[in-house]
Structure 1
Amino acid sequence: MDPRSVSVSSISILPDRPVLIAGPTASGKSALALHIAQTQGGVIVNADALQVFDGWRILTARPDDADLAAADHALYGHVPFDATYSVGHWLRDVAPYLSGPKRPIIVGGTGLNFNALTQGLAEIPPTPAAIREAGNALSLDALRDALDPETAGRIDLQNRMRVQRAWEVLQTTGQSLAQWQDSTPPALLPATQATCITLDAPKDWLNDRIARRFDLMLDQGALDEARAMLPRWNPDHLSSKAIGAPELIAHLKGEVTLQQARDAAIIASRQYAKRQRTWFRSRHKDWHHIAADSADLSATLRFADPAED
């Protein structure tokens, strides 16, 4: 059966079973996680690659003070804005919550984190600075051309960060990323041991939400946030990949108007959402799929008694 055709009423949320919630940006993941936590308990654990950093709270849509007061949250803004942070770092950080006193509700839009959590992650040696700098100097086409076909078939070839990472692995270790993945150790949390939910978001519905959310970010002070980060701005920082950050920094530098920065950020966010939808369609075929544009997402879940498991 196509998992996207499963009746949402068949999804039982057990209080002692981890919940994974994935989906594209602005699809309502955090609100659904908060509803589950408030209804049944648990700690909401971040699985988004950019929400781990401090310095960009508004632009990365980290939980606000009201959400933090409503339920326990973890792994949000705990990494310095100028630090490096990988999927491996995230796995080590999330591990204690898998056996902690509260059931984890793991939520985010970074497919690689969920993939590593449920399928395992190879411990690839870190990339030397010289190789990283050499990769930075190459074009995306040059990086892609250097990859082996097996690796090229597994990653998003439009995502420079992922392509360069695969190139760096090959240069550093002499083995392709695909080879490392094929020797992956056991998963920390196999999907069969969790309730796995993916939010499916129709393109037009999501595009409208993305535009309205960015305007709300501006109203909430995203430009002031960028102004505070301007003296520390470095486009090479991973945290600087936050959508809207390069655009608002360019505006503050006088390179574009605020309207141009807004439009560019919305376009970038929509392009990112498209890549996310493609990833989740391909990788989450065995997950429960819920229509993100449902009138009431919370009504699609059934909170079950542990005895039903």
Structure 2
Amino acid sequence: MTPLHQIDPGRHLLIAGPTASGKSALALTVARAQGGLIVNADALQIWSCWRVLTARPTSDDEAAAPHALYGHVAPDVAYSVGDWLRDVAGLLHRRLIVVGGTGLYLTALTQGLAHVPPVPPTVRAEGDARLATEGGLARMAADLDPATRARIDTRNPARVQRAWEVLTATGRGLADWQADTPPPLIAAHDAQRILVTADRDWLADRIAGRFHAMMRQGALEEARAMLPSWDPARQWARAIGAPDLVAHLRSEIDLPTATERAIIATRQYAKAQRIWFRGRMKDWQPVQADAKSTDRN
């Protein structure tokens, strides 16, 4: 990892990296040595219902340094990248150590985000219904304007539905709205930007070991607590591993199968993160993950 003497305490620090690469350990080390507020940039760690399953900082971590925007959103609340940016904006009077693996959050923070009008609930409900039908994802992607369709991952249901809803509600494609992007909250010269990189096989082993540790620490109990309100269409239900544990709790698969599926899903998520970082964060400073780190993130 980057030595502390190479980190500028006079600027914000942004740390990106794939899941389980040890970036949260780096953030905590910096905060303890230099001061600063650790700010979550992981779209899964915002949910109050998932602490273990999303590998949020432990209570000991939170006691060692101030943290913000972890577990602060209730499951019945919709939350967007725009909401996250507004939350971060309220913290800019402090030196921030922003850490996470959600590329959309980090690029919006450093490159700006278009102010797209809110989508009416009726349009969102129609989008949910269309996506739930057989072949719904492909049809929604086909309905998008060409510029937007070329810019998003058309295999990602959340991204496709969002783009479809914006086009339906406003008559303008998401790409068109994004062309009117305002200045970023944190410009490149105002922050040191670090991208943690890791060997694929090393990271795969880390992911597997971490998920088994999560199971010992209560991940299944977290899923059981959310079972009565389970709805796979809700944002909070997209936590990696949650669908697999719920399937086990519903007696659809055995626990070893659920565990293996969750590990595979996490590895696939890490691959998607690396693709985003390579494509959109080429100007970030790469640092190799610390093989000795025991941090989960």
TM surpasses 0.5 = yes
Higher mean C-alpha deviation, range 139-148 or range 192-201: 139-148
1:114 aligns with: 106
Residue 281 (structure 1) shift: 0.4
| 2:89 aligned with 1:92 | no
Q: How does 1:130-169 map to 2 (within 5 A)?
A: 130-136=122-128, 137-138=130-131, 139-169=136-166
Give, in whole Å, the separation in 2 of the partners of 1:51 and 1:226: 15
Cα pair 1:205 1:293 within 8 Å, conserved:
no
Residue 29 (structure 1) shift: 1.2
Residue 219 (structure 1) shift: 0.6
Cα pair 1:27 1:201 within 8 Å, conserved:
yes
Which of 129, 145, 157 in structure 1 is aligned with 2:121? 129
Give, in whole Å, the separation in 1 of the partners of 2:22 and 2:217: 18
Equivalent residue letter for 1:128: P
Provide closer, same or farther for how the CA distance between residues 294 and 211 of structure 1 changes in structure 2, counting only shifts above 3 A.
closer
Residue 254 (structure 1) shift: 0.9
Q: TM-score, normalised by structure 2?
A: 0.92
1:217 aligns with: 214
Give, in whole Å, the separation in 1 of the partners of 2:174 and 2:99: 26
**Secondary structure of the structure 2 residue equivalent to 1:131:** helix
Give, in whole Å, the separation in 2 of the partners of 1:16 and 1:204: 36
| 2:22 aligned with 1:28 | yes
Alpha-carbon RMSD across the aligned residues, in angstroms, is 1.8
Give, in whole Å, the separation in 2 of the partners of 1:145 and 1:62: 37
Cα pair 2:23 2:100 within 8 Å, conserved:
yes
Deviations 1:226-279, CA, capped at 9 Å, x for gaps? 111212222222111001111111111111111111111111111111110000
Q: How does 1:220-235 map to 2 (within 5 A)?
A: 220-235=217-232
Which of 7, 13, 16 in structure 1 is aligned with 2:7? 13
Give, in whole Å, the separation in 1 of the partners of 2:78 and 2:101: 19
Give, in whole Å, the separation in 1 of the partners of 2:179 and 2:281: 19
1:190 aligns with: 187
2:75 aligns with: 81
- In structure 2, stretches of 5+ residues that fail to align are none
Give, in whole Å, the separation in 1 of the partners of 2:257 and 2:230: 20
Give, in whole Å, the separation in 2 of the partners of 1:293 and 1:207: 15
Identity %: 58
Cα pair 2:40 2:68 within 8 Å, conserved:
yes
1:304 aligns with: none
Provide closer, same or farther for how the CA distance between residues 296 and 224 of structure 1 changes in structure 2, counting only shifts above 3 A.
closer
Give, in whole Å, the separation in 2 of the partners of 1:291 and 1:273: 15
| 2:49 aligned with 1:55 | yes
Residue 9 (structure 1) shift: 6.5
Cα pair 1:83 1:237 within 8 Å, conserved:
no
Cα pair 2:25 2:293 within 8 Å, conserved:
no
Cα pair 1:11 1:288 within 8 Å, conserved:
no
Cα pair 2:4 2:30 within 8 Å, conserved:
no
Cα pair 2:193 2:284 within 8 Å, conserved:
yes
Which of 267, 288, 292 in structure 1 is aligned with 2:289? 292
Which of 258, 262, 273 in structure 1 is aligned with 2:259? 262
Residue 194 (structure 1) shift: 0.3
| 2:276 aligned with 1:282 | no
Q: TM-score, normalised by structure 1?
A: 0.89
**Secondary structure of the structure 1 residue equivalent to 2:90:** helix
Give, in whole Å, the separation in 2 of the partners of 1:295 and 1:51: 24
Provide closer, same or farther for how the CA distance between residues 56 and 8 of structure 1 changes in structure 2, counting only shifts above 3 A.
closer
Higher mean C-alpha deviation, range 84-93 or range 222-231: 222-231
- In structure 1, stretches of 5+ residues that fail to align are 1-6, 298-309
Give the length in aligned residue pairs.
Answer: 289
Deviations 1:131-159, CA, capped at 9 Å, x for gaps? 22222223221122122332223222221
Deviations 1:152-175, CA, capped at 9 Å, x for gaps? 232222211112111111111111
